[in-house]
């Protein structure tokens, strides 16, 4: 297994958020399957230099150094299909983009987006609450903006518009 820590800052990132906490057995199964997947992952015959990490039993972060070889549409589709298949096998949804992950007192929580906004309106979500931005594009962004306070997140920008 190659960790994303061994990839360059410009490496492209995809964050897959599980709809529930993964068990230790599931983490091992995903790690083994993903290690095999990235060993054979290629784009137009060129091997992709990729790595991954499973974080907090909820996030699987996949990254590829596109300076070594660009990830093509077909290779990206293969990674999406990988996560769809593994999700079906262990009954996990990695594709619910309407579920917000955040922390309260260091504890990881999730809630549907509409409920998150209702909690914000009721002053239950303050500016200092940590939220996760799974739309980061590369490892540098992942390190800087994946886990940020509400005040520094895209949520705050959207909240200001409402």
Instruction: Please state, in angstroms and as integers, the Cα–Cα distance from residue 20 to each residue in 16, 148, 161, following that order.
Output: 12, 21, 31
* Domain boundary pick from 57, 90, 123: 90
- The parent domain of residue 137 ranges over 99-161
pLDDT score for 161? 53
Q: What is the mean pLDDT of the chain?
A: 93
Mean pLDDT of 90-95: 97
Give phi and psi for 68, each to the nearest 5: -85, -40
Pair (120, 143) in one structural domain = yes
Pair (156, 123) in one structural domain = yes
Helix (H) or strand (E) holding 102: strand 99-104
Pair (12, 79) in one structural domain = yes
pLDDT score for 125? 93
Pair (115, 42) in one structural domain = no
Beta bridge partners of 95: none
Q: Domain count for the chain, please give it.
A: 2
Total-model pTM: 0.93
* Domain boundary pick from 90, 111, 133: 90
Pair (8, 83) in one structural domain = yes
* Domain boundary pick from 64, 90, 116: 90
Helical axes 113-121 vs 154-161, angle rounded to 10°: 60
Phi-psi region of 114 (alpha: psi -120 to 50; beta: other; left: phi over 0): alpha
Pair (119, 155) in one structural domain = yes
Instruction: Please state, in angstroms and as integers, the Cα–Cα distance from residue 152 to each residue in 8, 16, 37, 65, 138, following that order.
Output: 25, 21, 35, 27, 18
139 in Cβ contact with 11 (< 8 Å):
yes
pLDDT score for 155? 83
Dump pLDDT digits (tens) for 16-75: 999 999 999 999 999 999 999 999 999 888 899 999 999 999 999 999 999 998 899 999
């Amino acid at each position: 297994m190659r960790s994303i820590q061994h990839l360059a800052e410009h490496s492209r990132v995809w964050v897959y958020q599980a709809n529930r906490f993964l068990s230790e057995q599931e983490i091992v199964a995903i790690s083994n399957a993903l290690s095999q997947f990235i060993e054979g992952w290629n784009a137009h015959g060129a091997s992709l230099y990729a790595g991954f990490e499973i974080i907090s039993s909820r996030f699987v972060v996949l990254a590829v150094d596109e300076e070594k070889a660009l990830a093509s549409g077909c290779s990206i589709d293969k990674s999406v299909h990988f996560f769809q298949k593994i999700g079906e096998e262990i009954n996990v949804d990695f594709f619910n983009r309407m579920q917000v992950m955040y922390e309260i007192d260091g504890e990881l929580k999730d809630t549907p987006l509409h409920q998150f906004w209702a909690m914000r309106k009721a002053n239950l979500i303050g500016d200092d609450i940590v939220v996760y931005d799974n739309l980061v594009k590369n490892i540098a962004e992942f390190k800087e903006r994946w886990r940020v306070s509400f005040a520094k997140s895209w949520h705050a920008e959207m909240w200001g518009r409402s």
